Amino acid sequence: MKPFQVWEGVYLIGGPQITSGDDCCVYLLDGKSELTLIDAGLGYSASSLWDNIVLLGLGPEMINYIIVTHGHIDHIGGLAYFCAKTRAKVVAHETELPAIEGRDLALTGATLYQVPYQPVKVDLILKKPVETLPVGKEKINCLHTPGHTPGGISPYVDLGGKRILFGQDIHGPFNPAWGSNLQVWRQSMQKLLNLKADILCEGHFGIYEPKEEVSNYINYYLQLYGQEK
C-alpha cells in the first residue's frame, strides 16, 4: 500500500501495510509552508517514511514539528533520523521525557522489539491540558490524554469543516511498568468523545470515519475495559 491522503492536508505515510508492521501509524499534516509529523515509527523504516513524503509531492525538509504522542519505541524509534536530516522540533509531554531523552529506556519498551533506541532531546515540552501549535496556515491542538502512558497526547486539527483526531493507542495495551492507569485512561477517552471528531487517525489500525464510527471505536474499548460511555 502506498501513502495516501486521509483528508485535505492530512496523510498516512507509515505503519502496517505501508512501511512495517512494527511501526505505529505515522501521519503528516501539511500546513502549506511547513509540515508536522505525528510520531516516527520504530526506526528501521525511517528512510521509507522520508521517501513517502517525497512520493506525495511534499518536501520532508519542511517538517517543523515532530509531535510524539507517547514514548514507546514503535512511535519514537525514527526520531533520531528525522532530527538529523531536518531542523524539526520534537514536541512531547513532560512526563514522557525520561523515555524519549533516554533517562529510563525501560519506559520505551524497546526490549520487547529487541531494537536499540537512540535518544533525542525534546525541544518543546508540553505541560498544560491542551496546547496549540501553528503549522503554517493551520493549527494543531495537543490534548493531554494520559492512561496508556502518563504523558500521552492526542493531537487534533480542524480542516475543511472536519475535525481530525490523531488518537494513538486508544486500544491500549496497559502495563503498570509504563505508568498505565485505566481509571485515568477512561477519563481521557471521555475527553476524546467530547471532541466529536469526524475522522479518527488511530495509532495502529488506521482510519475510522464518519463521526459515529469514531465514537463507536472509542466506546468499544471503554466497554472492553469495563466501562461503557
Any idea where the domains of the chain sit in the sequence?
4-224
Query: Distance between CA 137 and CA 83 in Å, rounded?
Result: 23
**3-state SS string for the chain:** CCCEEEECCEEEEECCCCCCCCCCCEEEEECCCCEEEECCCCCCCHHHHHHHHHHCCCCHHHEEEEECCCCCHHHHCCHHHHHHHCCCEEEEEHHHHHHHCCCCHHHHCHHHHCCCCCCCCCCEEECCCEEEEEECCEEEEEEECCCCCCCCEEEEEEECCEEEEEECCCCCCCCHHHCCCHHHHHHHHHHHHHHCCCEEEECCCCEECCHHHHHHHHHHHHHHCCCCC
Residue 50 near residue 60, CB atoms below 8 Å = yes
Domain 4-224: CATH superfamily is Ribonuclease Z/Hydroxyacylglutathione hydrolase-like (3.60.15.10)
- Which pLDDT band, with edges at 50, 70 and 90, does 227 fall under? low
Amino acid at 109: G
- Per-residue pLDDT for 228 more than 60? no
Q: Given pLDDT bands bounded at 50, 70 and 90, which one contains residue 214?
A: very high
* CA distances for 135 relative to 10, 31, 190, angstroms: 12, 5, 27
Q: What is the pLDDT of residues 42-84, one digit of tens each?
A: 999 999 999 999 999 999 999 999 999 999 999 999 999 999 9
Q: For the residues 4-14, what does the mean pLDDT come to? A: 98
pLDDT for residue 168: 87
Check if the beta carbon of residue 68 is closer than 8 Å to that of residue 90. yes
Whole-model pTM: value is: 0.97
Note the Cα 51 to chain centre separation in Å: 19
Question: What are the pLDDT digits (tens) for 138-162?
Answer: 999 999 999 999 999 999 999 999 9
In contact, 199 and 166? CB cutoff 8 Å: no
Cell numbers that stand for 86 in this block? 531536518
pLDDT tens by residue, 179-195: 999 999 999 999 999 99
